[in-house]
Amino acid sequence: MRRMLIFGGTFNPIHRGHLHLYRHFADALAVDRVLIIPTKQPPHKQPHELASGADRLEMCRLAAQDDPRAEVSDLELRRAGPSYTVDTLEELHARYPGAELYLAVGSDMLLTLDKWWRRERIVQLAVICALARRPGEYELMQHKKEELERRFGGTYRVDQADILEISSTELRRKIKEHTDLTPWLPPAVIDYIKRNGLYQCR
């Protein structure tokens, strides 16, 4: 394996915006493998309305089931305590020596990367790939990229693409309101949420 794209997140639930983001970089970088990693307990988020790890893992599997490059991993769900990106990268670096690691993140993650735990080590282990989605965001992210390069070194890629703009928080509200979810969620994920009554979908 030469190139691996790592895409972690709460995925509560995973939606088409997430899929568009990872597929953009998987295609652009011609990666051999995509590892989708639901987090157990993100350090920057409280567990309010957090679906179980097993449910989020299964929704990720359903969402990515048609992509032969994609594999969903429970690596972080099995880890005790909060999930830190650097721990995951260290584990993958040891498990796949010689592989090029690429970390796909949203624009908000790039803009706060300087606050991440052991960020200097993160940028040593992986190329940071971030996607600008909103007007004016690309220029802001380019400035941040240059700042991060000066402060921490590492390699960064900032792309611009028109992808679906929605948050998981907004989606959970729509689920409670029984809104048609087809524009935002793959059919298999919608079915799973309904069958299991997730996010108070009864």
Q: 165 vs 14, 15, 17, 133, CA distance in Å? A: 13, 10, 6, 8
3-state secondary structure of 102: strand
What is the structure's pLDDT at 23? 97
- Over 90: is that where the pLDDT of 48 sits? no
Q: What is the pLDDT of residues 30-46, one digit of tens each?
A: 999 999 999 986 555 55
Q: What is the pLDDT of residues 93-130, one digit of tens each?
A: 999 999 999 999 988 899 999 999 999 999 999 999 99
Task: Give the rounded percent of residues in the chain with a pLDDT score beyond 70.
Answer: 95
At 155, phi and psi to the nearest 5? -120, 135
Mutual angle of helices 187-196 and 53-63, in 10-degree steps: 150
- Over 70: is that where the pLDDT of 202 sits? no
The DSSP result for 14-35, as a single string, is: --HHHHHHHHHHHHHHT-SEEE
Taking the model in full, what pTM does it have?
A: 0.92
Interacting residues of 36 by C-beta distance below 8 A, sequence separation 6+? 7, 8, 11, 14, 22, 60, 64, 70, 71, 72, 73
Class (C level, CATH) for 3-165: alpha beta
Q: How far apart are the C-alpha atoms of 100 and 38, rounded to whole Å?
A: 21
Confidence band of 81 (pLDDT split at 50, 70, 90): confident
Q: What is the pLDDT of residues 136-188, one digit of tens each?
A: 899 999 999 999 999 999 999 999 988 777 888 899 999 988 889 999 999 99
- Over 70: is that where the pLDDT of 17 sits? yes
3-state secondary structure of 105: strand
What is the structure's pLDDT at 134? 79
Q: List the chain domain ranges.
A: 3-165
Confidence band of 200 (pLDDT split at 50, 70, 90): confident
Encoded tokens for 109: 């993650």
CA angle 195, 46, 57 (to 5 degrees): 35
Total count of residues recorded for the chain: 202
Q: How far apart are the C-alpha atoms of 31 and 34, rounded to whole Å?
A: 7
